[in-house]
Amino acid sequence: PVFSSGASLGMLGAELTADTLSEALASNTEDNPNLMDPVKDKMHHAYRAFGSLIHRFYNTRIVNNILFHQNPDPNIRAGLISVLAGDVWRDDNPFMDLILGGRQRWGDEYLGPSPSSGG
């Protein structure tokens, strides 16, 4: 799922870029040095989300503790699946809040000990 999410984000970034440039060319504003800032900001958010998810995938027990937990939180689980589908811009995804908020917001319930710690 992460590969297809990356392909999806790449295509979305290309679409946003094309739309922005098309509008700029039509209005003769293609020389605006800040023209691509909205695209950059939107895509940076997505890359940050996936970077955080990938880091946690390899350095914590996030998958086991969310997908295979005895009593998984359905909102967190649905949020993870939503992110894997490439939907990283919703304001109502508690999973996004967690992966972008850092360990202090997770606690050991979701992260558990690092796989490299043997715990």
Q: What is the Cα–Cα distance from 104 to 102, expressed in whole angstroms?
A: 6
Q: What is the Cα–Cα distance from 25 to 14, expressed in whole angstroms?
A: 16
What would the mean pLDDT of 56-76 be, rounded to a whole number?
84
Q: How many domains does the chain have?
A: 1
Residue 99 contacts residue 63 (beta carbons within 8 Å): no
Kindly report the pTM of this predicted structure. 0.71
Candidate from 30-34, 40-44, 78-82, 85-89 with smallest mean pLDDT: 85-89
If you search the block for the tokens 């997908």, which residue do you land on?
67
Cα 115 to its chain centre, rounded Å, is 22
Candidate from 8-12, 27-31, 68-72 with smallest mean pLDDT: 68-72
Between 13 and 90, the higher pLDDT residue:
13
Segments forming the whole domain that contains residue 39: 2-117
Asked if residue 103 has pLDDT above 90, the reply is no
Between 4 and 91, the higher pLDDT residue:
91
Between 103 and 41, the higher pLDDT residue:
41
